[in-house]
Amino acid sequence: MVAAHPKQPVVAVGHCVPGAALWRNRWSQLTFASLATVMLANMQYGWTLFVNPMHDANHWNRASIQVAFTILIFVNTWLAPFEGWLVDRYGPRPVVVAGGVFAALSWVMNSHAQSLQALYVSAVLGGLALGCVFGTCMGTALKWFPDRRGLAAGAIAAGYGLGAAVTTVPLSMTIRASGYHHAFFEFGLIQGIAILALGLFLLKPAVHAEAIVPRASIYRGPELSPSQTIRTGVFWLTYLVYLLIAFGGMVMTAQLGPIARDFGLENGTIVIFGMTAPLLTLALSVDNFANGITRPIAGLLSDVIGRENMMLLMFSLEAVALLGMAVLGRNPYGFLGFAALTFLFWGEIFVIFPAICGDSFGIKNAAANNGLLYTAKGASALAVPLASMLVAATGTWNSVLLTASFCSLLAGLMARFLLAPMRRRMRV
């Protein structure tokens, strides 16, 4: 049994302690963790709604504003290994509670920011919130469900995507009606308090991985510590694949609002089923829904057909979606459709990579090892301000979108034909 901190209760995986409350079983714990990520989602996926209003109100250039997004993702990902170590040692409760506090502070600070420097400081706090909540909930879910890693990771990642889908319309309406300062303040407090409350219910499971046999399609690797993990070729090849596929989605996540403006679509409307709706708001709602719903489905399917087969399929389709955005994105219906497809075929990376990490390096140190791999997302965030500078220099988004399409296809081919055989050699 994994050693537990005396202040953090431990519950056996898949069971309830006799007489214990229902909320202590693994399905309840997965629900609490998923809801926490729902409340966190706007910090990343709602960001694009604020970029143009901040640019218009403060006359900051968009590349400088997007530096804050890069800081947010960098802090989120590069501190994830340390946060994962804290979770493996002390359990999820104190880390998620701290994340709720950071989430509230970050957006409240954004609501009062009068300079780019203040925006950047707030981004550091936001990055801490993302890492403390998302990384913790993902690593803990992998421990509660060593037999269904894809499904568990999919539930956590779905919360992260669907949370933004549910709140995009009210967030956009608040920005339009009361200004972006008020939206940051109001939603920051609501999100932070909810995360803190949910974090109080989270428990550290005792994992009996040896008693649960995974499907034949899932490779079971050795139990490795973080220091051992980073010395394997499998880790670094997986990291490179993660970098390649994360690039396009990170640009689309942060830059969809600016892309719509440059395509002449920011204030446009679209008629769907006889109803007229603002194009950008509708696109964001549909995109975040697609981004969320693909995660549990992809996770479940990857448990059946294998991780690399799923990666080849989804990453190839992602390449087609990005290509379609470059070619047809200036048409309102093309913009809506290909943006949705981009997020539909990209969102599963936040399921597949944690699952493949647990398969390859074990579950005892799942939070810390996944934190190491998650830093690839931070490295890919460098593409966000670079994309802004490239567009400013060339006057077009095509070079960015076509490069992202190529990288997505390359990632799928590398996963299936290089990573799969390398992981088979690690199998225990």
Sequence-distant (≥ 6) Cβ neighbours of residue 228 within 8 angstroms: 361
Distance CA 322, CA 342 (A): 6
Range 79-103 average pLDDT: 90
Domain ranges of the chain: 14-207+214-424
User: Tens digits of per-residue pLDDT, 161-201?
Assistant: 778 778 878 898 999 899 999 999 999 999 999 999 999 99
Q: What is the pLDDT of residue 2?
A: 37
What would the two tokens of residue 362 be? 């074990």
One-letter amino acid at 165 equals A
- With 90 as the cut, is the pLDDT of residue 320 above it? yes
- Average pLDDT over the chain, rounded to an integer: 86
- Assign a CATH topology to domain 14-207+214-424: Growth Hormone; Chain: A; (1.20.1250)
- With 70 as the cut, is the pLDDT of residue 390 above it? yes
Distance CA 22, CA 34 (A): 17
Distance CA 131, CA 142 (A): 16
- With 50 as the cut, is the pLDDT of residue 397 above it? yes
| Dihedral sign for Cα atoms in the order 184, 253, 194, 86 | negative
Least reliable range by pLDDT among 113-122, 177-186, 376-385: 376-385
Q: What is the pLDDT of residue 15?
A: 47
